[in-house]
Amino acid sequence: MHQCSLFILTLLCVSVKDISGSWEEWWTYDGISGPGFWGLINPQWSMCNKGRRQSPVNIEPDKLLFDPWLRDIQFDKHKVSGVLQNTGQSLVFRVEKDSKHQVNISGGPLSYRYQFEEIYFHYGMEDNRGSEHQIDHHTFPGEIQLYGFNKELYHNMSEAQHKSQGIVGISLMVQVGEPFNADFRLITSAFNKVTYRGASFPIKHLPLSSLLPNTQQYLTYEGSTTHPGCWETAVWIIFNKPIYISKQEMYALRQLMQGSQLTPKAPLGNNARPVQPLHHRTVRTNINFNKQGLQGSNNCPDMYRNMHYTAVESSDDLISVSASDPTLKMTSIEPPTNEETNSTTTSNPVAQGTQLAVQKR
């Protein structure tokens, strides 16, 4: 009897020791180790359940606040080398530790200089889900998140991520379609090298800055990492244009598995944390009423009274300025016919966005 309980105790100790060695790997996107339980399975992740400034969130265009003091984002043009890894929860690219040329991120809403550290890939098994952030409850097929840490206050990511103003998250919404980004191929061509958990593949000379969409328009708010421990130390920046990957690349991504080759378990996709309540946080934007709104009416403050932000699906922008006053609608551009759309593929995206938003109302 005594012997028996001793045996059980030993067994318990051993298994607890085994688990504690790999806490970081013991979470998932579904079931009893899924997002609803992250805060319970590890005391250090309690913010996942208790936090009120969590990420991701749904962006409500109506509630965006235009902030004229938001600057352009500075993103170093240096190429980086690193390793693409299937962690079993996500696909992650981590920059080489001893790389000479680190990529600095500054400007925008940032008070400090941040150093790029890693990229997280979130994507759906179907095109109708995948992104973590949502725009007016619209989900994109994927979201690529570039994380950096505050280089002025902290030494590295692991120190910074749970400290004040520790990290920046730059969010790129992913659409399936054209135009493809040639530089992105450096990563996408390695997808089939990291099919199983633990697999990794080196990527050299990645021009990070050319992955970013061609816009300085963004949305920004203060939140958390979207993976455990959900530390509320992140400034989020969401660019106002998606980036594009091809159907083939998306297919390759969807072949990745959560498990090893012997026990592949489920596919890695659908690795998105559900949106979290805003709890009265402000989402600011540098999308300017004045510049983007209406040509020819710039000097009349009254004009802005009836203007607001709207989501513009099927346009190149995520968010655009729109007017609810019928007299203002007249000044916007007529919708293009099919012929025009096909022949003028490089038409002004600003005008296009404005006009699509008005159409929608």
Ligand X SMILES: *[C@@H]1O[C@H](CO)[C@@H](O)[C@H](O)[C@H]1NC(C)=O
209 binds ligand X (CB under 6 A): no
* Minimum CB distance to ligand X smaller for 95 or for 256: 95
Angle at 131 between CA 126 and CA 136, to 5 degrees: 105
344 binds ligand X (CB under 6 A): no
* Minimum CB distance to ligand X smaller for 10 or for 156: 156
* Minimum CB distance to ligand X smaller for 113 or for 138: 113
Candidate list 10, 74, 158, 263; residue touching ligand X; CB under 6 A: 158
Shortest Cβ 238–ligand X spacing (Å): 24
Kindly indicate which of the ranges 130-138, 140-148, 154-162, 188-196 contains the residues binding ligand X, using the contact rule CB under 6 A: 154-162
Question: Residue 122 carries which DSSP code?
Answer: E
Listed in sequence order, the residues at least 6 apart from 287 whose beta carbon sits closer than 8 Å to its beta carbon are 64, 66, 217, 219, 240, 309, 319, 320, 321
- β-strand partners of 237: 170, 220
Candidate list 156, 192, 306, 324; residue touching ligand X; CB under 6 A: 156
Residues 139 and 190: their CA atoms lie apart, in Å, by 25
Candidate list 31, 155, 280, 326; residue touching ligand X; CB under 6 A: 155
* Minimum CB distance to ligand X smaller for 307 or for 356: 356
325 binds ligand X (CB under 6 A): no
* Minimum CB distance to ligand X smaller for 151 or for 241: 151
- β-strand partners of 208: none
Tell me which residues are annotated as active site.
154
Q: CA 80 → CA 154, 160, 192, 207, distances in Å?
A: 21, 21, 21, 7
162 binds ligand X (CB under 6 A): no
Q: CA 310 → CA 67, 191, 240, 359, distances in Å?
A: 17, 35, 12, 11
Kindly indicate which of the ranges 2-10, 86-94, 152-160, 243-251 contains the residues binding ligand X, using the contact rule CB under 6 A: 152-160
Residues 208 and 70: their CA atoms lie apart, in Å, by 22
Site track for ligand X across 61-90, x = CB under 6 A: ---------------x-x------------
Going by their DSSP bridges, the two strands 142-150 and 134-135 should be labelled as unpaired
Going by their DSSP bridges, the two strands 134-135 and 284-285 should be labelled as unpaired
99 binds ligand X (CB under 6 A): no
Name the nearest CA neighbour of 141 among 173, 103, 119, 188: 173
Site track for ligand X across 109-148, x = CB under 6 A: ----x-----------------------------------
- β-strand partners of 238: 171, 219
102 binds ligand X (CB under 6 A): yes
Candidate list 5, 342, 345, 346; residue touching ligand X; CB under 6 A: 342
Which tokens is 214 given? 């061609």
Listed in sequence order, the residues at least 6 apart from 45 whose beta carbon sits closer than 8 Å to its beta carbon are 38, 39, 228, 229, 230
104 binds ligand X (CB under 6 A): yes
Q: How many residues bind ligand X (CB under 6 A)?
A: 13
Contact residues: ligand X, CB under 6 A: 76, 78, 101-102, 104, 113, 155-156, 158-159, 338-339, 342
